[in-house]
Amino acid sequence: MDNVTLEKDNVRLLDRFNLHLFSGEIMGLVFADYRGKRTFISVVSQNAPLNYGNVFFAEKLINSYIVPHPHRTQGVSVIGQTGTLIGEMSVAENVLVMRRNFRKYVIDTSVINSQFKKISEEFGIDIDGRKHVDALSHLDRSLVSLLKAIIKGSSLIILHDIGNLLEEADLARFHDVLHRCTEKGISFLYICNNYEEIFPVADRLCVAEKGRVLRVLERGDFEKIPMGRDTLDPGLTGPSVIMDGDSSLRFESVTYHALREISFSLSTGECGLFWDQSDAVIGDITRLLQREARPESGAIFFEGKILPPRSKIVPIGVIREMPHRTMIFPDMSSLDNLCFLVGQRNPALWGKSSYKKNIRDEYYPYIGEDIDQVTLDNVPKRSLYSLVFYRYHIFRPRLLVIIQPFLDADIPLKLHILTLIGSLRTRGTSILLLDNNVTDSAVIADKTWVVNRGKLIKEFSKGEMNHENHRFG
């Protein structure tokens, strides 16, 4: 990529972006502020039109600002968290049947399984080709996606936040397979925001910010990365305020939908992470705690008593994933968004200008001038997060459930979210994080419950998590 520039809605997403990737190389790529990340992927994989610059693939011009996409990119695949595998089909069918130019109308499964076994052994992958994709672990799904890209003929594979799905041991296994691929000339762009994940596998590392490449480092220079600036610091979260007495939240052998006899306990003032490895039960936990459903069996206790039905008011709050989209009211001012829950608890206060003025004066130092915005059209994402979190700072729930708190957040926003959570913790609010990614959330968790396919697998304290070498941000 030479001087690639791309603008959208007067925002320069890529700014003279230069990147040179060699055959058989693994290039780590970190977008420090996320700007241009998705745009970069669309340029490389889909030949998105450019405002300036040129893109070459295998020394052939494939995209240019002068002559848009003169050649379609056939040799690039993207592997991310969403995946493109068909769950109802077998592994071998996904890899060998669902590909371009496959013409057979009668599929001989024995031949396909035999072919798959030969190919998988070549890359050191031990997966039964007869298995259905639905039954695979996250690691095996990722490996099958990799084989599918290779069989399709891809010589460049973009790995987009692949490590979010994998534990440390699984990630090391995945890295081993990547090295086997590079021996055959396949190249990788390894995109993620966790330097510790990239360092062991990358040959070089590219760091981009504001849509522009800041630096490209050789493996021997990786230690020059200023880790304190680009990683999450547990000190930002504030001290735990764990209190004696009844637990804040307790599940006793709860079964509901995908949940299977789940038991755990969160103490008052504690921060716990419910790590859903299979991404199957976050919605179930949320529905139960919002009292939209009742357990099929077992019991849920809040502050020592059975969690009452929805008709009773309980001091439990929920912050959904990407709250700047899901929990902001665009037709209300910033201040009204901030005071929204006060109106629910005490409607008489909602219309009092004096009360709102007091709230405005108290939270201005934290939110800044954006607190005075009448419309939200130009309020930045960071301030929208502040409005939602400080809304609960005012409301003061005794338990706050936060769903995938760092989803789609760049590094500066992650640091800000940590600070926002810390401000709630110092007030003694119990925090329950529901996440399918341990990397960032484990930084602030006093304990972690590991759940897979609806069953509790392990429970760790923070010290035990460190001892087990789980990766967190």
Query: Does position 471 have pLDDT exceeding 50, yes or no?
Result: no
Distance CA(447)–CA(470), nearest Å, equals 13
408-412 average pLDDT score: 86
* Cα separation values, 419 from 273, 338, 412, 414, Å: 17, 17, 11, 9
At 472 the pLDDT is 39
pLDDT, position 94? 84
Contacts of 325 by beta carbon, 8 Å cutoff, 6+ apart? none
Residue 67 has pLDDT above 80, yes or no: no
pLDDT band at 426 (very low <50, low <70, confident <90, very high): confident
The structural domains of the chain, ordered by start, are 2-228 (3.40.50.300), 234-467 (3.40.50.300)
Q: By mean pLDDT, which of 79-83, 142-146, 217-221, 286-290 is the weakest? A: 79-83
pLDDT at 243: 44
H or E stretch at 354: helix 353-367
Query: How, if at all, do strands 187-191 and 156-160 pair?
Result: parallel
| pLDDT value at residue 251 | 94
The runs of H, that is alpha helices, within 97-199 are 109-122, 138-151, 168-182, 195-198
Q: How confident is the model at residue 245, as a pLDDT? A: 45
So what's the pLDDT on residue 431? 95
pLDDT at 470 over 70: no
Higher pLDDT, 390 or 224: 390
Distances from the Cα of 130 to the Cα of 105, 134, 156, 296, angstroms: 19, 12, 27, 35
DSSP state of 90: B
What local confidence, expressed as pLDDT, does residue 297 receive?
92
Mean pLDDT computed over every residue of the chain: 85
Residue 77's CB is within 10 A of a number of other CB atoms, namely: 20
27-41, 80-94, 206-220: segment of lowest average pLDDT: 80-94
Average pLDDT over residues 107-130: 86
State residue 244's pLDDT score.
Answer: 41
403-428 mean pLDDT: 89
82 by DSSP, 3-state: which? coil
At 86, is the pLDDT very low, low, confident or very high (cuts 50, 70, 90)? Answer: confident
Task: Looking at mean pLDDT, say which of 219-223, 279-283, 320-324 comes out highest.
Answer: 320-324
Instruction: For residue 236, give every residue at least 6 positions away whose Cβ sits within 8 Å of its Cβ, in sequence order, or none.
Output: 415, 418, 419, 422
Instruction: Read off the pLDDT of residues 282-296 as tens digits, 9 standing for 90 and up.
Output: 999 999 999 999 999
* Mean predicted confidence (pLDDT) in 149-159: 92
Region 294-310: mean pLDDT is: 90
Q: Specify the pTM.
A: 0.60
Mean pLDDT of 230-253: 60
End-to-end CA distance of the chain: 30
The per-type count for the chain, helices as H runs and strands as E runs, is 17, 20
| pLDDT for res 111 | 83
Residue 132 has pLDDT above 90, yes or no: no
Name the β-bridge partners of 57.
Answer: 60
CA distances to 23, 39, 112, 320, 343 from 75, in Å: 12, 18, 23, 38, 56
Could you tell me what percent of the chain has a pLDDT over 70? Answer: 86
pLDDT of residue 387: 96
pLDDT by residue (tens digit) across 171-226?
899 999 999 999 999 999 999 877 878 889 999 999 998 899 988 999 888 876 65
For range 53-65, the mean pLDDT:
89
pLDDT at position 350:
57
